[in-house]
Chains A and B, each alone.
Chain A
Amino acid sequence: MAQLLERSQVLLIKLILLVPVGLVLLTIAGMVWRTTSPVEPGVAVPQPIPFSHKHHVGDDGIDCRYCHTSVETSASAGMPSTGICLSCHSQLFRDAPALGPLHESMRTGKPIQWNRVYDLPDFVFFNHSVHVKKGVACVTCHGRVDQMPILVRNESLDMQWCIGCHRDPTGKVVSPSHVTRMGTLPALSEDERRQLLHMLQLENTQRLTDCSTCHR
């Protein structure tokens, strides 16, 4: 019995059959590309005012809590109101063109629209105050903001990263008095670490790794 199709036709059919496979691969690639984070760690986000944490924190030595007022009391760390900025800038650098949006905001009563750098999914409920209370230093998640002229996200914020600390906070927490300090975390001996965990009541991590701790 003769060949039903010639060799070239067989090749053509094989090629045609490859097209859907390629399409599926392309779709998957597209999906992955579209759903991956638009802001990779280390990428600067443009802001309406080129606010420099390096200048305010590093050079001027302003404490985090001066602007992020509710970081110790509330889930949200709190973004400074226009009024807080103007508590200094009504006197300092009043005419700097970069501060135009600030004065504009006070004049019109419309808030400044900052672009979010640290964004968690809506099904994750993060509370700043309890982390601060439990000795998670600002630099642990936000990095050395005192060296950032423009704020960049320091960490990926994926669940693997969160749960790293939640599974074993040893060595990742500091004494509550050190929380807002910049610089590397103080090196502690094994004994001091144990004492710290005991003081912060973090010895039992079972609760920390329950889904319901962050998802509700």
Chain B
Amino acid sequence: MRHPPAVRFHETTLQDLPANPHRRRLLKLMAASTALAGTGCTQAPPEKIMPYVNMPEGMVPGDPVFYASTLLRNGFGIGVLVETESGRPIKIEGNTAHPASLGAADAQTQAAILTLWDPERSHTIMHRQEISTREAMLSMLIQRLDEESQTGGRGLRLLTGPVSSPTLLSQINAMLMRFPNAQWHMHDPADSDARAAAALQVFGVPARTLYHLEQAAVVLSVDADLFGPSADGVRNAHDFLAARRRNPRARMYALESSPNLCGSLADSRQAMSPGEMENMLEMMAAALSNGAAALSNGGASLKSSSWLNRLYRQLLRARGACVVAAGHSLSLRAHVLVWHINTMLGNLGKTVYALEQYAAQQPGKAPGSGSQTARPRRPASLPELTEAMRNDQVSTLVMVNVNPVYDAPGMLAFAPALEHVPCSIHTGLYYDETGRRATWHVPQTHELESWSDAYSHDGIASIVQPVIAPLYGAYSSHELMSVLASGQTASAHATTRATWQEFWQARGEAEFEQQWQAALSCGVIASHDKLHTLHPLQGAFDALKAESGAQPDARPPNPPGVMTPSAAKPSSATIGITAVLANDSNLVAGEFANNAWLQELPRPYSKITWDNAALISPASARQHALCNGDIVSLSTADDDTGILAPIWIMPGQANGVITLPLGYGRSHAGNTAQGHGFDVFALQGVNGGLALRTFSVTMRRTGQRHDFAVTQHELHTQGREPVRNVETRRDSAPSNSSRVSEPARARARSGENETPSLYPGHEYSSYAWGMTVDLDACIGCNACAIACQAENNIPVVGPEQVAMGREMHWIRIDLYREQSGNRTQFQPMACQHCENAPCEIVCPVGATMHDSEGLNIQVYNRCVGTRFCSNNCPYKVRHFNFFQFSRNDPSAAAHANPDVTVRQRGVMEKCTYCLQRISHARIQAQKAGRPIRDGDIVTACQATCPTNAIVFGDTNDPDSEVSRSKASPRNYAVLEELNTRPRTTYLARLDDPAARLEEDDD
């Protein structure tokens, strides 16, 4: 069995604690701690001041400088602003000018700063597991390329991840011109091969999908993770919520094999296996092409045919303004069906675009314009490469920023094939699985360390600008590629500039410099090109019609996703079940595995940290008598060794489907990544050259158990209504309207409807800070949690401590599940800054106090760690630093926010409403002699929220955004009955009765 998961940390940790300490031992410990206290406490060591030798222009010591740059996700650019403090990058914010960000950033973007500083990143060039030098590597490479050039590069192969960088693409193009027989392969473990193949089949060229959700009235997600950690997730969330705030309100329907973020937002959702989804799409496509007003009764086998019929009618009514989005679990045929349906509904070119994938070509040519003499070169696939490697046709393999030894499908057996390659060169951030197997490994620079460029998902270019010199002596992939392309080394800066010089064809150096500086300072390169969608080839959908009469399971060869798993008897030892490989919501496909922030971030639905789990539905679990933590072995017909995976029962999961998140079970990715979870890629099969995302597996019980570190155990509201719903009226504006009644406005201001209280009262003459969180807009993406962690120097504690409930996140995203069924609701929960704060009353040392602007402040230097406050907090938002959780190695100190105290052990801490940002705004306002304006203070969570669900401001100002938000009739306080009068209030979720699909079923 491969990669047995880590098990049972509860027992090991509990053993360390003396259950019954003896008197003598206790006395010894006390004496020792007194002695240590006597000798260990010292004054902070004397400090040095090191001023610059020459002060850089525009730099002010103590003030942060922001640089616009671009981070890459699946090859596409996400615009960011990087906050640097004395030259050290410390925090990432979204770039409002960039279309993939619009000012927001997701959890992975926020966490990139930790990866940048990760001391476990690769430091040196390695040759066969030994340290080597750049000169040795370069002379070897140049010699190798000379040999290869004699055959036109017949044995030379390049393997990259997805690429949008025009500089890299032109380098690949130059390489392919220099070595006409060489080949370029592309491998993206986070993408679905079925999706790519379907787009190729429909449009004749490799294509990607772009959604314009702000135009949509109805969105149907067919297992699609629209708001997930992809290049367009933030933009999709922003756009869909913009459509939701409109009148009429946009509708979302979700079919899901396993709960993802669309399902929580959906007006109605159904759990379905990918096979059932394909049947449903089949029926829908058939009905659409017949012009039928309802689905034919082919859905008799489906439990929810009336639901589907209503869904179908909704889509028909929104012709040209709806979206059918397909997820990675679907088969090739289902993806083609989705394109067909979108085409027939008239969505193509309106809400759904098909854009051509970037191909290797010279710069200066617009992507997709194939008019130039040299045809753009397109990459071949990983299975083709593996085949060639196995047949000894590959003599030199260059792998740029990929890790196929880990993330290639297990059935491909990439690692053994790599043994056949005499010279393989790997570049990557980490000395990972592939780096160790390749003959050469070259450390690669992070995006924030080197020059490059990238297109966003919707085709806007931006420059990848370094904000710090390479920390660990790494090299840019452009440097290596320039050797391949021209035989000479060139800096990434020069190559990137050369690309844009060619693009812009600027007249003279001065004009180019002007354009270049403009591109750098605003973070995007302005483009006036209008997007045009590709159109399906003539007869692209004919094949579908020919097949549609046949039974799905009669189609050769074994279409993935069509399974009949329920045939297995519960008593039998082996259980047939459909496995769906899903991108992990934190680690995606493993590239973020060594990022401790993302490891400790609870998954939106399971709330599991530091682990992946095989998700099954409660009914399936009951049927097979499985419970949370039971380890099962999973194997396929082709691979009977299989993997071991612990079970997690996931309500809302489709029956007969086991969802396996990717990205875990790393063997060489750094100490943070190792020893957690199980590797799903080992199980992944390949069919017809396509890596499978959905296939049937055999499940066996092993009798072993695994403990998960979970942050939320109770999903029911217990009648306390922490999350609330209100119904929209059909005639009224949907969102919190600006028509605010005067009584409501008065109520929002503290005062009138005060219930009597024993707590001392407060009066606020200047500001009174407050926050609202719109539950109708919260999608549960967790971006705020990581933004808060980065901003406030919040440490990670590790899985053992999480299991004891000692996680330190100042903001947690609670999940509530309606008892009745499918509906879930996320709720960001941080310190509520209560007016009648129960914590303040019980603190014996006055470490938690009310300040004159209504903040509930925590004074770390007063705190003695009694933890009374946490015990008395009804919201459980205070976190105690049980051990010295904050790391004090140089890399952690370097990216800590200097405006926030790094807390000691033994101190209570909690959300401060980003006090440092309030202080900054106050000081700026006082220096300018004006009051703080609404919008001057943007908290870290608010800034990063893709859907603007969080509003912060002065509640004393009746015209501030937060006051208007609090005056909404949807405004309510959590646990209002305790009369804590929290300053953070929530806006109830809106429920659109007209959008429901279930009502007639009752």
The smallest beta-carbon distance between B954 and chain A, in angstroms, is: 14
Cβ–Cβ contact B53 & A111, under 8 A: yes
Contacts A133-B927, A204-B765; is A211 near B60 (CB within 8 Å)? Answer: no
Cβ B919 vs Cβ A216 within 8 A: yes
Decide: A211 and B857 in contact? CB cutoff 8 A.
Answer: yes
Query: A119 to nearest B CB, angstroms?
Result: 6
Q: A30-B39, A73-B60, A210-B852 are in contact. Are A82 and B861 (CB under 8 A)?
A: no
Given A83-B55, A119-B44, A27:B38 Cβ within 8 A: yes
CB atoms of A211 and B851 under 8 A apart: yes
Contact check, B851 vs A70: say whether CB atoms are below 8 A apart. no
- Which of B72-80, B251-259, B508-516, B897-905 lies at the interface? B897-905
Q: When A38-B46, A78-B61, A127-B923 are in contact, do A105 and B38 touch as well, CB less than 8 Å?
A: no
Residues from chain B with Cβ under 8 Å of A34 in the complex? 41-43
Given A114-B51, A116-B49, A211-B851, verify A121-B929 contact (CB < 8 Å): no
Q: Does A153 contact B (CB under 8 A)?
A: no
Interface status of A113 (Cβ within 8 A of chain B): yes
Question: In the assembled complex, how far is the CB of residue A78 from the closest CB belonging to chain B, in whole angstroms?
Answer: 5
Counting CB contacts under 8 A, is A9 at the interface? Answer: no
Alpha-carbon distance between A30 and B43 when the two chains are bound, in angstroms: 12
**B540 contacts chain A at the CB level, 8 A cutoff:** no
Q: Is the CB of B860 within 8 A of A123?
A: yes
| Contact across chains for B42 and A73 when beta carbons are under 8 A apart | no
Contacts of A37 in B (CB 8 A): 43
Chain B: CB-nearest residue to A117? B49
CB pair B51 A215 closer than 8 Å:
no
Which B residues touch A195, using CB under 8 A? none
Q: Map CB proximity to A onto B2-45 as digits: 1 under 8 Å, 0 otherwise.
A: 00000000000000000000000000000000110111011110
B38 touches A30 (CB 8 A): yes
- Size of the A side of the interface (Cβ < 8 Å), in residues, is 53
Q: Confirm or deny: B853 has a beta carbon within 8 angstroms of a beta carbon on chain A.
A: yes
Given known A73-B60, A133-B926, A216-B899, contact A82–B38 (CB-CB < 8 A) = no
Check A27 against B34 for contact (C-beta < 8 Å): yes
Min CB distance A205 to B, Å, is 10
Contact between B43 and A82, CB atoms less than 8 A apart: no
> Is B54 engaged at the interface, CB distance under 8 Å to the other chain?
yes
Selected from B43, B44, B61, B851, the residue in CB contact (under 8 A) with A36 is B43
Given contacts A82-B53, A109-B53, contact A35 B901 (CB under 8 A): no
Q: Is the CB of B52 within 8 A of A35?
A: no
Smallest CB gap from A36: residue in B: B43
Q: Do B63 and A73 have beta carbons less than 8 Å apart? A: yes
* B725 / chain A contacts, CB cutoff of 8 Å: none
Q: Which chain B positions have C-beta within 8 A of A76?
A: 61-62
Contact across chains for A35 and B41 when beta carbons are under 8 A apart: yes
Of the candidates A70, A82, A204, A215, the one whose C-beta lies within 8 Å of that of B61 is A70
- In the complex, whether B303 has a CB less than 8 A from a CB of chain A is no
Q: Interface readout for A59-99 with B: 1 if CB under 8 Å, 0 if not?
A: 00000000001100111101111111000000000000000
Q: How many angstroms from the CA of A201 to the CA of B853 in the assembled complex? A: 17
Q: For residue B902, which residue of chain A has the nearest CB?
A: A122
Complex: A201 Cα to B930 Cα, angstroms: 10
Q: Is B916 an interface residue (CB 8 A)?
A: yes
Q: CB within 8 Å of B: which of A170-216?
A: 201, 204, 206-207, 210-213, 215-216
* Chain A, Cβ-Cβ closest to B901: A123
Name the contact of B62 in the complex, choosing from A70, A207, A216 (C-beta under 8 A): A70
Residues of B853-887 contacting chain A, CB below 8 A: 853, 855, 857, 859-862
Which of A79, A130, A204, A216 is in CB contact (< 8 Å) with B923? A130
Most chain A CB inside 10 Å of its own CB: which residue of B53, B912, B915: B53
B374 within 8 A of A: no
Q: Say yes or no: B849 contacts A116, CB within 8 Å.
A: no
| Contact A125:B851 (CB < 8 A) given known A82-B54, A111-B53, A112-B50 | no
A144 surroundings in chain B (CB, below 8 A): none
Q: Are A125 and B899 in contact (CB under 8 A)?
A: yes
Which chain A residues border B919 with CB–CB below 8 Å? 125, 127, 212-213, 216
Given known A-B contacts A111-B52, A129-B927, A207-B852, A75 and B62 have beta carbons under 8 A apart? yes
A160 within 8 A of B: no
Nearest CB of B to A148, in Å: 17
**Minimal beta-carbon separation of A82 from chain B (angstroms):** 4
B859 touching A70 by the CB < 8 A rule?
no
Complexed CA–CA distance, A39 and B860 (Å): 24
What chain A residues lie within 8 Å of B926 (beta carbons)? Answer: 130, 133-134, 201
**B391 within 8 Å of A (CB atoms):** no
The answer to whether B54 touches A122 (Cβ under 8 A) is no
Contact of B53 among A105, A123, A125, A207 (CB under 8 A): A105
Query: Chain A residues with Cβ under 8 A from B900's Cβ?
Result: 216
Instruction: Decide: B859 and A215 in contact? CB cutoff 8 A.
Output: yes
Are B43 and A216 within 8 A (Cβ)?
no
Determine whether the beta carbon of A74 is less than 8 Å from that of B60: yes
A110 at the interface (CB under 8 A from B): yes
What's the Cα separation between A134 and B50 when bound, in Å? 28
Within 8 Å of chain B (Cβ to Cβ): is A31? Answer: yes
Would A106 and B53 count as touching, CB distance under 8 A?
A: yes
* A3 interfacial contact with B, CB 8 Å: no
B891 within 8 A of A: no
A12→B629 CA distance, assembly (Å): 64
Q: Which residues does chain B contribute within 8 Å of A123, judged by CB atoms? A: 860-861, 901
Closest to B846 in A: A211
Shortest Cβ distance from B763 into chain A, in angstroms? 10
List chain A residues, Cβ under 8 A from B47.
Answer: 116, 119
Q: Tell me the complex Cα distance, A63–B34, Å.
A: 51
Q: A70-B63, A119-B44, A121-B861 are in contact. Are A111 and B51 (CB under 8 A)?
A: yes
Which positions 125-178 of chain A face chain B at CB distance < 8 Å? 125, 127, 129-130, 133-134
For chain B residues 901-960, which have a beta carbon within 8 Å of chain A? 901-902, 912, 915-916, 919, 923, 926-927, 929
Give, as a whole number of angstroms, the nearest-CB distance from A145 to chain B.
Answer: 16
Judge whether A74 and B61 touch: CB under 8 Å.
Answer: yes
CA distance in complex: A106, B851 (Å): 48
Q: How far is the CB of A71 from chain B (nearest CB, A)?
A: 10
Residue of A nearest to B52 (CB): A81
Query: In the complex, what residue of chain B is closest to A68 when comparing beta carbons?
Result: B61
* Interface of chain B residues 811 through 829 with chain A (CB within 8 A): none
Q: Report chain A residues within 8 Å CB of B855.
A: 212
A116 touches B899 (CB 8 A): no
B486 within 8 A of A: no
B222 CB to closest chain A CB, in angstroms? 47
Whole-angstrom distance between the Cβ of B65 and the nearest chain A Cβ: 12
A115 at the interface (CB under 8 A from B): yes
Known contacts A74-B60, A127-B923, A134-B926; is A82 also within 8 Å of B46 by CB?
no
What are 19 contact pairs spanning A and B, CB under 8 A?
A: A34-B42, A35-B43, A36-B43, A78-B62, A79-B49, A81-B54, A82-B52, A109-B53, A110-B53, A115-B46, A116-B47, A116-B48, A130-B926, A133-B926, A210-B851, A210-B852, A215-B859, A215-B861, A216-B919
The interface of chain B, by Cβ under 8 A from chain A, is: 34-35, 37-39, 41-44, 46-55, 60-63, 765-766, 849, 851-853, 855, 857, 859-862, 899-902, 912, 915-916, 919, 923, 926-927, 929
Which A positions have Cβ atoms within 8 angstroms of B? Answer: 27-28, 30-31, 34-39, 69-70, 73-76, 78-84, 105-106, 109-116, 119, 121-123, 125, 127, 129-130, 133-134, 201, 204, 206-207, 210-213, 215-216
List 11 additional A-B contacts (Cβ < 8 Å) besides A81-B54, A82-B51, A213-B919. A34-B42, A74-B63, A80-B51, A82-B53, A114-B51, A116-B47, A125-B899, A130-B926, A211-B849, A215-B861, A216-B919
Minimum-distance CB pairs A-B, first 4: A76-B62, A79-B51, A27-B38, A111-B50
